Chain A
Amino acid sequence: MKPDLIVRTPNQRLALRLPVRAIWALVGVLVALAFVVGLSLMMGSYPLSASQVLHILWHQPADKTGTTIVWEFRFPRALVSVMVGALLGLSGATLQNVTRNPLADPSLVGVSQGAGFAVVALTILMPEMSYFYRPLFAFAGALVVAFIIQTMSTGRSGGSTMRFILTGVGVAAFISAGTSALLTYGDINRATAALGWLAGSVHASGWDDVWLTTACLLVLLPILMWASRPMAAMRMGPETATGLGVSVSLARWGLITLSVTLAAFAVAAVGPLGFVGLVAPHVTRRLTHSGVGLHLLITAGVGGLLVAVADLFGRTAFAPVQIPAGLVTAMIGVPLFVWLIVRQQARSEL
């Protein structure tokens, strides 16, 4: 491994250590992202060549149909995949750091399901105020579930990660049943609309979703970067974190809220995409070792890459049938999850 690069100001007052490998990983992930987005602009039932896509993107419309397809369908869809993947990856990374549990994932512990339930309830019971309030409802649903799990799992003998996850599994089962009940009970047309959304599909995404998710990312990413210090301390356990001057309970609640917010916005935009929050941080950890802040940035990139690839695969592999991206991510995520259970270090708290 190459030594880290250290940048100093001439008078040696300030120095910044740059982990070279991690920065290269970040650059590599971003390049791959650009490549996958480009590919998904080209591929589909109306194939376009790379030069055509470039022409269309620089507003030299030689081809009316192509312009519509790229600007109205493929581009927002690809961007939403990237953004949602980044949000979910960050959410998972935060949750894993706070609970010190490498298996924590918003879709496993019921946070995504809570957001999903709230949105389905909104779609079915109050369809007239649907779109605008979606993120708000998703956020409320996810937060309530996070609160329930957190309260239920901290019992007499203090909180334990095992209880946290098991409680989450139970709550997730309960909420999924509630969602299904709403779907059978509700008006058939609204239920069908909600059903497509529930499978975790980006196919209906438009520019609204792009702005929503981008705005969320732009607001929350700096906050996360700022919170990466307490997060790094939290990773060493509550005692050490207290010793390092972190208010543990405050940091815990703050970071969980942050994680829930990230997941809620992603779910509000495209529905619950499973296992992205689990996979992205782990892939990142395999790619490179770095501090928490840089790790978060790379995780965001990897998450975006994962969902973009999943969507591209889902819509082209069995064309004309489209497999929702959520199913593809679940099929990628589960084997990794199993591998993680098997490889789980004996020293860890599980």
Chain B
Amino acid sequence: MILRRVGEMGRFSVMAAVIALFFALHISIGAKAIPVVDVFTALIARDETVFDHIVVWDLRMPRALIAMVVGAALAVSGALMQGITRNPLADPGLLGLLAGASFAVVVGYGLWGSAIVPIMPLVAAGGALAAAALVFWIATAAPGGARPLTLILAGAAISAFLSAVIAAVQLLDQENFEQLRVWLTGTISGNRMDYMGWCLPWLGLGFLAALAVARQITSLAMGDEVAIGLGVNVAQVKVLSLVAVVSLTASAVTLSGPLGFIGLVIPHAVRLFVGTDYRFVVPYSALVGAAYLLFVDIVARVALAPIEISTGLVTSLLGAPFFVWLVRAKL
């Protein structure tokens, strides 16, 4: 037992070290290279008169923080979705939640303008919830029930429809949507830090709910009947997971726009190391997701420097081949 605890501590500290490393790299790499030593002095002793320190504190830190939070949120919500639907291909992007949240934000922005900012996570959550409900309704209405294929097809259909409507709305009102255009491809940028305050309660709620249901999801993965036999309140677990998934996805979309495939890739990678016990899968998904998105964001900034690619494109370019491999290996 003690040995296991020690092993757990070791694994945890390795993960924390990886995150710290990527965090430091993320902050020091950029259009203006700042030596790691200077980054550390900036972090320890902030000096408003030194330009590098301002860059670190006001531009790079927020961006790195947002990347971490969004990565963790999407990875956890992907892990929960895979557990609840018992579907290895579940992901907030593939099942249409990201498209639903983006659509709701675009519509809300068109109706109320920037007054929407304080309730943006709520609006996004509404959109994500509606899209999720629609996709699940379609998939369960199909003969044979909600199998991976029907879920993915329904998700693809809803996403395609919503992006067509978004594109049409953009064409009709170009000035208003100019600002949303870049956001819609999934970008991480420090100036969305203003939204962080509005998202924090939702993020907290989401992570807490995820941790609370983690234990029961492990039994749920063996099938609803088995879970009921083991004394799990299945309906309650499902509702709580839905709350977690929707509020985490909505916060992620509010902060960075739709970033695909993170929720698919990370939980699978995590399961390779920690097994199928969701008490470990959920927290490690959060950690690995944070590290992964920091890494991806570094790649997006340096790959074609001085041009930045949208982070969402990099996550898709890395995630889609993984998806194809998963289809080949698991189905």
Contact = CB atoms under 8 A, between A and B. Distances in A.
Interface string A270-290: 000011000000000000000
B324 A342 contact: no
B313 interface: yes
Contacts of A335: 161
Given A338-B157, A342-B141, A181 B309 contact: yes
Interface in A139-178: 152-153, 155, 162-163, 165-167, 169-171, 173-174, 176-178
Contacts of A331: 161, 164-165, 168
| Interface-centre pick from B139, B144, B324, B331 (highest chain A CB count, 10 A) | B324
Contacts, number: 125
Interface stretch (B36-44, B102-110, B145-153): B145-153
A344 B313 CA distance: 33
B307 interface: yes
Nearest to B329: A155
Given A170-B324, A185-B304, A334-B160, A344 B310 contact: no
A146 to B, nearest CB: 14
A327 B167 contact: yes
A334 B158 CA distance: 7
Interface stretch (B16-24, B246-254, B314-322): B314-322
A192 interface: no
B327 interface: yes
B161 A334 contact: yes
B290 to A, nearest CB: 22
Nearest to B143: A346
A103 B157 CA distance: 11
Contacts of B157: 334, 337-338, 341
Contacts of A184: 185, 307, 309-310, 313
A126 interface: no
A166 B143 contact: no
B320 A165 contact: no
Nearest to B141: A342
B327 A163 contact: yes
Interface in B268-298: none
A68 interface: no
A342 B328 contact: no
A294 B158 CA distance: 33
A166 B331 contact: yes
A166 B149 contact: yes
Contacts of B94: 169
A274 B310 contact: no
A153 B143 CA distance: 23
Nearest to A156: B328
A162 B320 contact: no
Contact of B138 (A176, A318, A341): A341
A116 to B, nearest CB: 14
A219 interface: no
Given A323-B168, A334-B160, A167 B153 contact: no
A337 B139 CA distance: 12
Interface of B: 89, 94, 138-139, 141-144, 148-150, 152-154, 156-158, 160-161, 164-165, 167-168, 171-172, 185, 260-261, 304, 307, 309-310, 312-314, 316-317, 319-321, 323-324, 327-328, 331
Contacts of B324: 152, 167, 170-171, 174
Main secondary structure of the interface of A (DSSP, over half): helix
B256 to A, nearest CB: 16
A31 interface: no
A326 B163 CA distance: 12
| Interface-centre pick from B142, B150, B164, B310 (highest chain A CB count, 10 A) | B164
A155 to B, nearest CB: 6
B331 A162 contact: yes
A251 interface: no
A350 interface: yes
Given A199-B167, A341-B157, A342-B138, A180 B144 contact: no
B149 A174 contact: no
Nearest to B185: A180
29 contacts: A153-B328, A166-B89, A166-B148, A166-B149, A169-B94, A169-B156, A170-B320, A173-B320, A173-B323, A180-B313, A181-B317, A184-B307, A184-B310, A318-B172, A323-B168, A324-B171, A330-B160, A331-B165, A334-B161, A334-B164, A335-B161, A341-B139, A341-B153, A341-B157, A342-B138, A342-B141, A342-B142, A346-B143, A350-B150
A321 interface: yes
| Interface-centre pick from A162, A173, A323, A345 (highest chain B CB count, 10 A) | A173
Given A170-B324, A184-B185, A335-B161, 10 more contacts: A108-B156, A165-B149, A170-B320, A173-B261, A173-B319, A177-B320, A327-B167, A331-B164, A331-B168, A350-B144
B222 to A, nearest CB: 24
| Interface-centre pick from A171, A181, A318 (highest chain B CB count, 10 A) | A181
Contacts of A337: 153, 157
Contacts of A170: 320-321, 323-324, 327
A152 B328 CA distance: 7
| Interface-centre pick from B150, B310, B316 (highest chain A CB count, 10 A) | B316
A46 B235 CA distance: 60
Contacts of A326: 164
Contact of A174 (B143, B309, B316): B316
A174 B320 contact: yes
Contacts of B319: 173
B317 A344 contact: no
Interface string A314-350: 0000100111101100110011011001101110001
